[in-house]
Amino acid sequence: MTGFVEHLPILTIVIPLFSAFTILVAGWFNKKSCIFIFWLTLTAQFIMSFIILRRVLIHGPIHYWLGGWKPPWGIELVVDSLNAYILIILLFLSLACAIYSKSNIEHELPGKRVSFYTLFQLLIAGLCGVTLTGDIFNMFVFIEIFSISAYALIAARGKIALKASFTYLILGSIGTCFFILGIGCLYSVTGSLNIHDLSLLLPPFYGNKVVKAAFVFFIVGLSIKMALFPFHTWLPDAHAFAPAEISAMLSGIMIEISTYAFIRVSFSVFTLEFLKLLPVFDILCWVAVAAILMGSVMAITQVNLKRMLAYSSVANMGYIMLAVGISLSAVESPWGGLNPALMHIANHALMKGCLFLAAGAFIYKANLWHITEFRGLARKMPYTCAAFVLAAISMIGIPPSAGFVSKLYIILASIEIKNYFFVAVLLISSLLNLVYFWRVIETMYMKHEEGGHSSHGSHGMREEIPLGMLIPILLLSSLCIVMGIVWLGKIPIPILDQVNLMFGLGKVP
Amino acid sequence: MILTVESIKPALALACPLIAALLILLSNRRPNLRESWTLIAGLFQFAIILSMAPMILRAQTIEYTLLTGMLPGINFGFKVDAFGLMFAMTSSFLWIIVSIFSIGYMRALQEHAQTRYYFCFALAIFGAVGVALSGNLITMYVFYEILTISTYPLVVHEESPEALFAGRKYLAYLLTSGVFLLAAIALDYSVSGTTDFNPGGHLTLASASRPFLMILFLLFLLGFMKAAYIPCHSWLPTAMVAPTPVSALLHAVAVVKAGVFGIVRIVCYVYGTDTMGELGLGVMLASFAAVTMIGASLFAIAQDNLKKRLAYSTISQLSYIIFGVALLSPMGVTGAMIHIPLHGFMKITLFLCAGSILVASGKKNISEMAGIGRRMPVTMFAFTVGAFGMCGMPATAGFISKWFLGLGALQNGNLIFLAVLLISSLLDVVYFFPIVYTAFFGNAEGMDSNWKGSKRIKEAPLFMIIPLSITALFSIIFYFPNPVSEALLHMANLALSH
């Protein structure tokens, strides 16, 4: 059995890769088959990700050598508690989006089902690859795979989406260029591409300017990919004009995967010692603070719901990067080290996934894009609106939701490093969140449709979305609350503690 | 020595309104079933809470932990002590009363969105009782925020632009205050490593520097903006646009009471009266409260809208409670603690009366109510009882708390505080007495001529009359020696014993 589990990481990448082409071919003959192949693949991956996590937690990291070639010559897949954890979030959200897409895609992209699912499957393959690989060049390749699928998927709606996709294409390519420049620099110094190998070879060169430059290249490149302020300019349009499930994937997991890549590069390729040489993480904190404030303020000015959510994502990337930034200095368990950052990655995936899918539902049912058009929507779509409210409450950080817990942890970590300014920023930003989310909720629930007002107590005109779309939304929204309680019960904390232990963060026992 | 007993009862008491909320949603289409869920849950909850009373009276505390080790040193759990139980009993009992009244009110006015109304009402009670039974600040914060969010739909129930404005103001004030509270809790936790409520407090001068402790207290005070002290009071009169039972909930049962409850918790159980005294915070808080007591009474005199006048009266009365704890003397704290239930009963009577006047006659302003006492004798008699209670007249419950507050001021040795108390009581008379006088002895002819052709004003439906008579009766009963009021006093004494 153990032998089989060893092979799961590669299967998680290869199965979707093959499945993508199978969808393309099968779709030729029978368009309806696409979705089932897609679902089947994702379900299988999701189950595998759990087996991988269990194995990693019990027996420690899995090292898989591709083709039996020993690293550093061959490509290696390394699964430790960090990427096993990210993989579950990734596949869970993908599964939710996949279930949602069945009805939505027929509506949003009529006649493009086959190519959509092919690309979606490729996107997931790329994301899984980035997550699982133990080789930095390999990581670059997978980043390109998922980015290219994403460019195409964003452009799928045509018209203005083409422009959004093009902006992302240009900026995203610049980002990956920086990333590969970084890889080049490291290769020129060490002659290795394997992450573990690099971490062993690099320490003598920590004073080397090329190595420092490489780190900066990585930061800049990944900051663009994760839409960290001020490199966020591609994000609002891309989020707003992509199909709903792609927006959810973009905001919920793709930019988080770039954060994961950043964490991996900072802590696994470079090490804690190197990070302590440079004040990079301190600067990062301040950039993140700017992102939080700017993202929230910009979100308030939006009238397009999806754009508003997109700016909210910019702010939330700020949260995550702030948490990463203070991870070096905050040590107390449970908020020390990377805990709050990883926690918010999961929470943000749930919340934003839910919000974007709900926003997509409004477009699906009534072609509603703008917040002002949502008058009286809660009467027509009670379940979707209720889900939206739950996720919004979680975004604002009202207890006992998931968002509250991550906010609390970041605040406690900021207090531990005695930076009260960060505390103030986090608190102010939750008020700003309140402003822009409550505006939507108020319009949905408390304002009546023009003309058709005084329809007190009428239940007649329900126009709820199909069950296939409703279930993922309700599932994600209830998880926004349930996860809050789960986090408070500290059930997943042991996984995060292992991550901290691995990187030498947190309290040394 | 206080014995601690492990019992699931606090969790069960909280489960009642939560389950009721779900059942209410499910029985959307069947009003009778929906309302009976509320009543059944209310009765169950009250029974469960009441069953904890004997243990508390034996000087035990009840603890129950839901999540262990939420943060190091903090469990998500409940700790029922005498003070918490007093608040929980008040809220859960008055929930039943308000629910009965709501049935009459909402049906008489044929209000819309009644399912949402009862659902949010149950959630609000869930929040309020949760606040009462919480064992530490973080648990309390969770319920405190649930209370804020769940009462928002009630405040904007009317969905008119005015109501929307009130709702925004309500959220803007209360969620901002929630942010301050969270900051305060996090800071408290970072210096003391715990947020548990202990009689005598867990913060001492040794925990942090003086300025830090004083700023922290200010943050806590801002955090409990629900207590509606001046200058953070203006959300409360604005929120009067809500249906009257909601106002009763805000004023007597849940929201503002949760605010003052929190302040009492901070003063007596987080800082402790000794530390408060050493920091000089008692005098500061008392001055704050004194300004509110007198200022709000002056505002109240200027109001013609009955509900607005009652709202300012609440602001003033809440500060009696803050004032009482700020005296830091045992009698003062006792007075403050028993004023929470006593004020609850009296204020709910007044609001229910205002509601039944609205339903029966459609009148909102005091100047239009001349002679209404002769048309609605029961309602106005109950109103008189409540109003006299507010003024602290003998033979009403209000006298007891004022008596203790006065003794507390004497114990504190500061005669200015006693003078403040007396002036404020006098002002209470100034704004309540005219209402009673107008209602009974005003010229009723204007009233009849106004309503010529329409039906004559008569008493409101029984669903509304019975609850307000019950609470009025209680407002009198509490004055006379009987097991209930003795138990209350005993609890207030126990609440501070180490």
Q: Which long-range contacts (CB under 8 A, 24 or more apart) does B362-366 make?
A: B364/B305, B364/B306, B364/B307, B365/B304, B365/B305, B365/B306, B366/B303, B366/B304, B366/B305, B366/B306, B366/B309, B366/B434, B366/B435, B366/B438
Asked if pLDDT for residue A316 goes beyond 60, the answer is yes
Confidence check: pLDDT of A454 > 70: no
Highest average pLDDT, of A29-38, A389-398, A453-462, B56-65, comes from A389-398
What per-residue confidence (pLDDT) applies to A459?
Answer: 47
What is the structure's pLDDT at A509?
52
Q: What is the mean pLDDT of residues B323-339?
A: 90
Mean pLDDT of the region B95-99: 90
- How confident is residue A103, by pLDDT bands cut at 50, 70 and 90? confident
State residue B450's pLDDT score: 52
**Cα nearest neighbour of B181 on chain A:** A427
Looking at residue B5, what is its pLDDT?
Answer: 85
CB B316 within 8 A of CB B293: yes
pLDDT, tens only, B24-83 = 988 888 888 888 999 999 999 999 999 998 888 888 888 888 888 778 888 888 989 889
Q: Which of B359, B375, B422 is nearest to B110 (CA)?
A: B359
Whether A286 has a pLDDT exceeding 90, the answer reads yes
Confidence of residue B291 (pLDDT cuts 50, 70, 90): very high
- Give pLDDT, residue B444: 64
- Name residues 100-139 of chain A within 8 A of B (Cβ): none
Of A66-70, A194-198, A458-462, B228-232, the poorest mean pLDDT is in: A458-462
Radius of gyration of chain A (CA): 22
Residue B498 predicted with pLDDT over 70? no
Looking at residue A2, its pLDDT comes to: 59
Is the backbone of residue A74 left (phi > 0), alpha (psi -120 to 50) or beta? beta
Residue of A149, A141, A152, A91 lying closest to A123 (CA atoms): A149
pLDDT in tens, A41-63: 999 999 999 999 988 888 888 88
Give pLDDT, residue B359: 85
**Is residue A166 scored above 80 in pLDDT?**
yes
A438 touches chain B (CB under 8 A): yes
- Per-residue pLDDT, averaged over B105-131, amounts to 89
* CA A131 from centre of chain: 12
SS3 B132: helix
Over 60: is that where the pLDDT of B449 sits?
no
Cα–Cα separations (whole angstroms), residue A361 to A105, A160, A266, A355, B173: 11, 20, 38, 10, 32
A245 pLDDT more than 50: yes
Contact A448 B164 (CB under 8 A): no
Stretch A70-80: mean pLDDT, rounded? 86
Cross-chain residue pair A489–B67, CB shorter than 8 Å:
yes
Query: Is 50 exceeded by the pLDDT of residue B453?
Result: no
Choose the mutation target among A414, A450, A487, A488 for the interface with B, i.e. most B CBs under 10 Å. Answer: A488
Q: What is the pLDDT of residue B70?
A: 78
Q: Where are the alpha helices (DSSP H) in B395-479?
A: 397-412, 415-441, 445-450, 462-477
Question: A399 and B159 in contact by Cβ < 8 A?
Answer: no
pLDDT digits (tens, 9 = 90+) for B473-482: 988 888 888 8
The Cα A285–Cα A268 span in angstroms is 20
Tokens of B395: 């033979």
pLDDT confidence of residue B448? 53
For chain A, the average pLDDT equals 88
| Among candidate residues A239, A232, A389, A258, the one with its CA nearest the CA of residue A310 | A239
Chain B (49-108) residues lying within 8 Å, Cβ to Cβ, of chain A: 67, 69-72, 76
Q: Does the pLDDT value for residue A367 go beyond 60?
A: yes
B156 and chain A: CB distance < 8 Å anywhere?
A: yes
Distance CA A424, CA A422 (A): 5
Contact A281, A341 (CB under 8 A): no
pLDDT at position B46 is 93
8-state DSSP, B81: -
Contact A416/B at CB under 8 A:
yes
Q: Over range A136-146, report the average pLDDT.
A: 92
Closest by CA to A227, choosing from A313, A140, A122, A331, is A313
Confidence band (pLDDT; 50, 70, 90) for B456? low
In 10 A of CB B302, how many CB atoms? 10
Q: Do B142 and A400 touch (CB under 8 A)?
A: yes
Q: Which helix (H) or strand (E) holds A248?
A: helix A244-249
CB contact under 8 A, B70 and A489: yes
Outline where DSSP puts E strands in B146-194.
none
Output the pLDDT for position A312.
93
B34 secondary structure, DSSP code:
H
Residue A496 has pLDDT above 90, yes or no: no
CB atoms A416 and B190 under 8 Å: yes
**Domain ranges across chain A:** 279-449+463-509
Q: Is the pLDDT of residue B330 over 50?
A: yes
The answer to whether the CB atoms of B67 and A334 lie below 8 A apart is no
B225 vs A229: CA distance, rounded Å = 35
pLDDT in tens, B207-219: 888 899 999 999 9
Q: What is the pLDDT of residue A457?
A: 45
Q: In this complex, which of A424, A448, A490 lies closest to B69 when CB atoms are compared?
A: A490
CB contact under 8 A, B69 and A446: no
DSSP track, A77-88: EEE-HHHHHHHH
For position A458, what pLDDT does the model report?
46
User: What is the band of A456 on the pLDDT scale with cuts at 50, 70, 90?
Assistant: very low
- How far apart are the C-alpha atoms of A16 and A137, rounded to whole Å? 20
Q: Does A486 touch chain B (CB under 8 A)?
A: no
**Comparing C-alpha atoms, which of B237, B200, B419 is closest to residue B312?**
B237
What are the chain A neighbours of B171 within 8 Å (beta carbons)?
434, 438
Cβ of B183 within 8 Å of Cβ of A427? The answer is: yes
Using a CB-CB cut-off of 8 Å, the residues of chain B touching A446 are 156, 159, 163-164, 167
How high is the pLDDT of residue B393?
86
* pLDDT value, residue A273: 85
Region class of B206: left (phi > 0), else alpha (psi between -120 and 50), else beta: alpha
Q: At what angle do helices B330-361 and B255-264 cross, to 10 degrees?
A: 180
Question: Is the backbone peptide bond immediately before A334 cis, with ω within 30 degrees of 0?
Answer: yes
For the cut 80, the answer to whether the pLDDT of residue A263 exceeds it is yes
> How many other CB atoms are there within 10 angstroms of residue B190's CB atom?
17
CB contact, 8 Å: B215 with chain A?
A: no
Handedness of CA A311, A316, A317, A319 (dihedral sign): positive
CB burial string A156-170: b at 16+ within 10 A, e below: bbeeebeebbbbbbe
- State whether the Cα torsion A399-A401-A407-A408 is positive or negative: positive
Q: How many CB atoms lie within 10 A of CB A274?
A: 20
With beta carbons under 8 A apart, name residues in chain B contacting A334.
Answer: 71-72
Tokens of A6: 């060893």
* Band of pLDDT at residue B369, cut at 50, 70 and 90: confident
Does B113 sit within 8 Å of A412, measured CB to CB?
Answer: no
Per-residue pLDDT band at B295 (split at 50, 70, 90):
very high
pLDDT at residue A125 tops 50: yes
Task: For residue B155, give the chain A residue with the closest CA.
Answer: A446
pLDDT of residue B297: 92
Enumerate the H helices of A156-204 as residue ranges: 160-190, 195-201
Give chain B's mean pLDDT.
88
> What percent of chain A stands above pLDDT 70?
97
The DSSP secondary structure of A41-89, one letter per residue, reads HHHHHHHHHHHHHHHHHHH--EEEEGGGPPTTTS-EEEE-HHHHHHHHH
CA angle A470, A474, A478 (to 5 degrees): 175
Exposure class string for A428-457: b at 16+ Cβ within 10 A, else e: ebbbbbbbbbbbbbbbbbbbeeeeeeeeee
When pLDDT is cut at 50, 70 and 90, the band that residue B316 belongs to is very high
Q: What percent of chain A has pLDDT over 90?
A: 49
Instruction: List pLDDT tens digits, range B386-441.
Output: 999 988 888 888 898 899 999 999 888 888 888 998 999 899 999 899 898 888 88
Mutation pick from A333, A401, A408 vs chain B, by most beta carbons of B within 10 Å, is: A408
Nearest to B427 by CA among B312, B326, B255: B312
What's the confidence (pLDDT) of residue A450?
A: 65
**Does the pLDDT value for residue B458 go beyond 90?**
no
